[in-house]
Chain A
Amino acid sequence: MIHQLVVRVYFEDTDFSGFAYHGSYVRFMERGRTELVRSLSVSQADLFERERFAFVVRRMAIEFQKPARMDDELLVVTSVMELRGATLRLAQAVMRGEETLVTAEVVVAATREGRATRIPDAMRDAMEG
């Protein structure tokens, strides 16, 4: 499945260079992942409260190809590349129109009470769609 989220770059997202601070893209991509999970009708807050379930980021490989500027309207594209029992690998891209600014591969693990757990079947089925 592929998810898209529009993000605007504000002054608070930029650094002394005038471009978006590299850490800002990490936050934008996290929003993309959160919205992907929300689109599966899953509230991460509810899951945590009921079952102490949480997704944790295990690994990120990020390439910063081109910089964004304040006022740019960006698109965070997130797709599921691999779905295993307890982990998920996502491909993300931050686009400005046709231009790819940043790409990332993110490995996320499902945990319950801080220990590895199986990704719930309902979520798995929805992601495979």
Chain B
Amino acid sequence: MLRAVEVAQSSLHAQMGGLAFVVRRMTIDFRGAAVMDDVLTVATRPKDMRGASMTLAQEVRRGDEVLVAADVLVAAVRDGRAVRIPDELRAALAMQDPELDPP
């Protein structure tokens, strides 16, 4: 999803002085099982955006069937300390979901 908004984690790291995203919390529901050879789609959308963290809602789907659903809280850090999510990234992600609160 970050690549879709033209942001690669390694670029974030290089261009924004060592910025990286770390996973803080995951709540995962396993509803159905995938089997070998299944082709799955991982759908990811921003669900909530705060100053230094955001929640992503993810679904792993096999066709229309949602096999796994998760809410993932990620935090922006630099040198191990919480930092604000860069505005250009915040804006790019907000465009993915017009219902997100404005930054």
Contact = CB atoms under 8 A, between A and B. Distances in A.
Interface of A: 16-17, 22, 56-64, 67
A63 B22 CA distance: 12
Contacts, number: 36
A64 B23 contact: yes
Given A56-B30, A57-B30, A62 B25 contact: yes
Given A60-B27, A61-B27, A64-B24, 8 more contacts: A17-B20, A17-B22, A22-B22, A58-B29, A59-B29, A62-B26, A62-B28, A63-B24
The B interface, classified by DSSP as helix, strand, loop or mixed, is strand
The A interface, classified by DSSP as helix, strand, loop or mixed, is strand
B25 A59 contact: no
22 contacts: A16-B10, A17-B20, A17-B22, A22-B22, A22-B23, A22-B26, A56-B30, A57-B30, A58-B30, A59-B28, A59-B29, A60-B26, A60-B27, A60-B28, A61-B25, A61-B26, A62-B28, A63-B24, A64-B22, A64-B23, A64-B25, A64-B26
Assign chain B's interface to a size class. Answer: 10 to 19
A60 B28 CA distance: 5
Contacts of B29: 58-59
B24 to A, nearest CB: 6
**Closest CB pairs A-B (n = 6):** A22-B23, A61-B27, A60-B28, A62-B26, A63-B25, A59-B29
Interface string B4-26: 00000110000000001011111
Nearest to B29: A59
Contacts of B23: 22, 64
A17 B78 CA distance: 11
